[in-house]
């Protein structure tokens, strides 16, 4: 069953979200639904996982340097998480 939308111009009901099939007027899109089909905004709060760089086009020494930086980032995140955990148990 399709959702019917009321046209504010003619007062008729229709299933087409873009135009009214009865009077032919273009429907205005509410600001809440403007970016609904935008690919960049589908999962705005998803953080990508830290993964090791395995690109064979990058020289080995540069890959090792990048992966060392990622390991340091993991360590910094673990220390930060531990501090947040400690702060929680100190407050509670």
Residue-wise pLDDT for 35-91, tens only, equals 666 666 666 566 667 788 888 899 999 999 999 999 999 999 999 999 999 999 998
* 78 Cβ contact list (under 8 Å, min separation 6): none
Burial 72-84 (b: 16+ CB within 10 A, else e): eeeeeeeeeeeee
pTM here is 0.46
Angle 30-33-35 from CA coordinates, rounded to 5°: 125
Q: Are residues 90 and 54 in the same domain?
A: yes
| Per-residue pLDDT tens digits for 9-30 | 888 888 887 888 888 888 776 6
Residue 36 domain-assigned (yes or no): no
Query: Within 13 Å, how many C-alpha atoms sit on residue 17's CB side?
Result: 7
Residue 13 domain-assigned (yes or no): yes
Tokens representing residue 71 in the block: 């390991």
Structural domain of 72? 48-92
SS3 5: strand
């Amino acid at each position: 069953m399709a959702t019917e939308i009321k046209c504010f111009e003619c007062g008729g009901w229709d299933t087409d979200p873009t135009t009214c099939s009865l009077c032919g007027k273009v429907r205005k899109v509410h600001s809440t639904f403007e970016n609904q089909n935008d690919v960049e905004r589908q999962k705005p709060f998803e953080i990508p996982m830290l993964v090791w760089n395995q690109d064979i086009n990058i020289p080995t020494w540069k890959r090792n340097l990048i992966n060392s930086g990622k390991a340091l980032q993991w360590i910094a995140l673990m220390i930060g998480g531990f501090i947040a955990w400690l702060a929680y148990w100190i407050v509670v």
